[in-house]
Each structure stands twice: as C-alpha cells, then as structure tokens.
Amino acid sequence: MESRIAQSIALKYHPVAVLLADEKPQNALQFKKGKWGCVMFMFANAAKGKTVAFDRETFGCWGGGVGLGFGNAYLNFPGGVECFSYFLSSGNIQWEKGKAVAGALEGSAGKAFAEDFLHGEAYVETPQLVEQFIKDLPITEIKSRYLLFKPLSEIDPANEQPETTVFVVDPDQLSALVILANYGREGMENVIIPWAAGCQTIGIIPFREAKAQRPRAVVGLTDISARKYVRNILGAEFLSFAMPWKMFLEMEGKVEGSFLERHTWQSLLKSRS
C-alpha cells in the first residue's frame, strides 16, 4: 500500500506498519533469544525497508516487552517492579534489596546498565511515581505469537490489517500531520504526546487509542535513550507519529482538498528542496 500522506509530506523513510501475526516472514530481522536490544533500533531498520519480528523471547528489553504488548515484562526485571522503580528514578544503591540484587548482577551486567541500576536513570523523581506510571500504562497481552514491523508499501490491506501505522517525521512534517489529524474533526486535541518509552508510543499506547470511539495519534521518540540508538540510522531530527489503523485511513481520505494541496504547504515543501 502506498500512502497519499507520505507522498504529500515528502516522507524520507518508509511508513511502518505494526501487525500481529502467527507466522514470521522469511528473512525478517529478529533479536536473538535472551539478547538485550532496543526495539527502536529495529523500528529504524523497518523505516529503512526491513521487516522485523518479535516474540515473547526476542523483544530486546523489559520496556520493549511491555511496549510491544507481551504483558508486564517489568515483573522480570532484576529485582522485579520494585527495583525497576528505583532504576528509572533515584537508583537502587539506597536500599538493601537493591544493593543485594546489584551484587548478584556484578560481572554479568554491562557497565552502563550497572551504573544506572545503582544510581538511577533519573527519568522520574521518585520510585513511587514510577509505580504509578506502570499502573497508568495500558499493559497488554497480545494473542498472536509475533508482532511485526513491515514497510507499509509491502502491506495488502485486503489480506492483512495493521494495528498501527507509524511515520518518521521532522518538525515540518510533524506540523502537517498534527493539522491533518485535526482537519476533519471536532476538537483540537486529536494528537497526544505521552511520557513513555519509544516502543510504548508506537505499540501499546496506539493500541489503546485504537479501542476508543475517536482514536488519537501518538507522537513519540521523545525517549532520549531510544533517540541515542536510532540517530546513527535515521538522523537526529526525527520523531515518530503513530496512527491507529482506523485513524490512518481516515487521514488518508482527507488529503484531497486539504491544506496539503495549498500554497502555504507547497511553498514550505519547495523551500526544503
């Protein structure tokens, strides 16, 4: 499937379709079982034309397991949800269980992870706020064996229906998509920017939106850890824009007659070339 929106905003990279499947496509990229990796690294490869597969043993990291809909993978973090809550905030060095788990990890964890485990990533002020963040996440247990990232151009909507379509966009393109998302709707808040991991803003949060009567688009890649992993592949200037499939089709149908065909957007496009 070719996207009219992608053509109209001169998208640099492939739109990525997020699909549930029970079979893995041939030649799909996949993390090795038990190997750590960032889901957004794989997403960047999908945006460059690769097909990627994940299952319950190959989702890369605990946040990735949560983000892709493989349940509450934070339960399997070293020391469980408690230690994860300290890891994301103020660090495990300040309490006995955390120090004991850190001792058990010594030598087996990478230097960067060990440092963050002990002293915290400081993305959230307190462990209690992290616990609330986890409660607020729409943690999902998908029913399929695999979750796939595929270039949208390889999707035949007659045979497979994505859960979500994700664009990789720069500030001009993001501006256009925010306008288009609100163009044919009441209200002015049809796009959200939640605080979450990069994979969660293209996975479970759009999945939640898909269940709403009027789903909203989700801006992501505001996760600076994920940005560190994708910038060498995609560039430093990009964010993600995820649309539940129903909303994507709605927006595709609004291109004709919209501002995307008018002089302001056309002149902005011309100035970019």
Q: How do residues 177-195 score in pLDDT, each as one tens digit?
A: 999 999 999 999 999 999 9
Sign of the CA dihedral with 219 first, then 223, 226, and 230 last: positive
11 shares its domain with 112 = no
| pLDDT confidence of residue 110 | 76
196 shares its domain with 247 = yes
132 shares its domain with 227 = no
**Structural domain that includes position 15:** 4-65+141-266
- Residue 272 domain flag: no
| pLDDT confidence of residue 73 | 97
Closest to 14 in 3D by CA, of 120, 165, 125, 164? 165
Count of domains in the chain?
Answer: 2
pLDDT tens digits for range 135-177: 999 999 999 999 999 999 999 999 999 999 999 999 999 999 9
User: What's the whole-model pTM score?
Assistant: 0.95
199 shares its domain with 231 = yes
- Residue 273 domain flag: no
Sign of the CA dihedral with 5 first, then 222, 56, and 74 last: negative
239 shares its domain with 132 = no
Query: Exposed/middle/buried for 187, CB within 10 Å: 0-12, 13-18, 19+?
Result: exposed
Q: How far apart are CA 266 and CA 3, in angstroms?
A: 18
pLDDT above 70 for 109:
no
| pLDDT confidence of residue 54 | 98
| pLDDT confidence of residue 107 | 66
Q: Which of 81, 107, 136 is the last residue in one of the domains?
A: 136
- For residue 34, what pLDDT band results from cuts at 50, 70 and 90? confident
88 shares its domain with 198 = no
- Beta-carbon contacts of residue 168 (< 8 Å; ≥ 6 apart): 11, 12, 13, 16, 44, 47, 221, 234, 238, 239, 240, 241
83 shares its domain with 26 = no
202 shares its domain with 260 = yes
148 shares its domain with 209 = yes
